[in-house]
Amino acid sequence: MQHRSLTVVLTAASLLLAAGCSAGGAQPGKDGPSPGAKGSARPGPSSSAPPATGSVQVTGTLATGLDSPWGVALLPGGDLLVGSRDTGRIYRIAADDGRKTALGSVPGVSPGGEGGLLGLAVSATFGADHQVYAYFTTESDNRIARMIYDAKRPAGDQLGAPDTVLRGIPKGHIHNGGRIAFGPDKMLYAGTGETGDKGLAQDKESPAGKILRMTPDGEPVHGNPEADSVVYDYGHRNVQGLAWDGHDRLWASEFGQDTWDELNLIASGRNYGWPEREGKADGGAGGSGFTDPVAQWKTSDASPSGIAYAKGSVWMAGLRGERLWRIPLDGTKPVAAPRAFLKGTYGRLRTVVAAEDGSLWLVTGNTDGRGEPHKGDDRILHLKVT
């Protein structure tokens, strides 16, 4: 197939969208579904808000000895795919006993700094096509490719040749973004970083510092701000967490610089402020066409990576903060202040994934060059949460 090279051109219509005229997207503060949510098979939310305090119980360790784990994808049936940022390898971890099987390596991965093999996702129609998607850094860019996973082949040779669906996402030593996920609309979403070049976040002709929304083939989708662009919103510093709640609203975690990390409610065409603004303006008064975060943290307390939605709350893994944050929600509003769990217990926390039963898989990130690995690192923990 002809691979799509990313070009982004947004017109004055984007300015109207940034001011609040969404092209079919849910608006922050409202309970409507995200674009494409009609016909979604996702279960509805509970009728009552979650408890204000909640709890976390570590019920076991699924796997140990992982090397720079980053991307995690949940397979039908509950097993996990885990990628190694620095080696480019992908493994399958059995959910029942932690058995690890090597699938193979993603060709072309060029690790360095915060780049390498980053996000993983499985196709929304995995049962039929067996496609695994990967976001990774090459010598020239960040890109998204898909590979056919054939579990019947010998271990280490279970991935087909990569088919690049999107290329040309700027790369940097830092801020490569990297999280990918299929939404309830069966479209592919990707969080990108601004590579350390702050101006790219506000540059609508660049895919850096954005959330991208595309078809499984990497093409623009109806409901995006511009019909010929995969750019969904803009004004981000470094997006590394994506999750949908029970009403199919999209949430994203945001690395701040020196002042505030953020949890954002995402809507089509919105401008989330970076680098003009970090965190809430004037105590949350808004203005200037920017969208305020729903919650914010000092960077020393969070530095968030992956997020998940379970039991009425958004759960956010903290790297520098070395803790798991719980943000209980009633619709789009927190019902209580965010609460931290596991502070300093397992070191840096990279990724959190919701299992089908509402429990969580939590992946540590101590072998990424910035942590202090202990015996057994990195590991996958199983959490029971309320």
**CATH number for the domain including 188?**
2.120.10.30
Per-residue pLDDT band at 48 (split at 50, 70, 90) = confident
Tell me, yes or no, whether 352 lies in a domain.
Answer: no
Instruction: Give the global pTM.
Output: 0.89
Helix (H) or strand (E) holding 264: strand 260-266
What 3-state class would DSSP assign to 121? strand
For residue 384, which phi and psi values (nearest 5 degrees)? -95, 125
Tell how many helices (H) and how many strands (E) occur in the chain: 2, 25
Please say if the pLDDT value at position 20 is more than 60: no
Q: Please, are residues 231 and 207 in contact by the beta-carbon 8 Å criterion?
A: yes
Q: What secondary structure does DSSP assign to 200-257, as a single string?
A: GGT-TT--TTEEEEE-TTS---TTSSSTT--EEEE--SBEEEEEE-TT--EEEEE--S
Range with the lowest mean pLDDT among 24-28, 45-49, 280-284, 347-351? 24-28
Mean pLDDT of the chain: 89
Give the distance, in angstroms, between the CA of residue 274 and the centroid of all CA atoms in the same chain.
18
Per-residue pLDDT band at 34 (split at 50, 70, 90) = very low
Tell me, yes or no, whether 38 lies in a domain.
Answer: no
Report the C-alpha gap between 318 and 259 in whole angstroms.
15
Per-residue pLDDT band at 42 (split at 50, 70, 90) = very low
In tens, the pLDDT along 212-262 reads 999 999 999 999 999 999 999 999 999 999 999 999 999 999 999 999 999
Per-residue pLDDT band at 385 (split at 50, 70, 90) = very high
Number of domains in the chain: 1
Tell me, yes or no, whether 312 lies in a domain.
Answer: no
Q: What is the pLDDT of residue 125?
A: 98
Helix (H) or strand (E) holding 81: strand 80-84
Least Cα distance to 175 among 237, 108, 117, 118 occurs for: 237
Q: What is the pLDDT of residue 39?
A: 32
Q: What is the pLDDT of residue 281?
A: 85
Give me the percent of the chain exceeding a pLDDT of 70. 86
Tell me, yes or no, whether 245 lies in a domain.
Answer: yes
Tell me, yes or no, whether 46 lies in a domain.
Answer: no
Dihedral over Cα of 243, 248, 254, 259: its sign: negative
Please say if the pLDDT value at position 9 is more than 50: no
By residue range, what is the domain housing residue 105?
Answer: 67-304
Tokens of 150: 């054939």
Please say if the pLDDT value at position 30 is more than 50: no
Per-residue pLDDT band at 287 (split at 50, 70, 90) = low
Please say if the pLDDT value at position 6 is more than 70: no
Tell me, yes or no, whether 29 lies in a domain.
Answer: no
Q: What residue spans of the chain are helical by DSSP H?
A: 12-18, 126-129
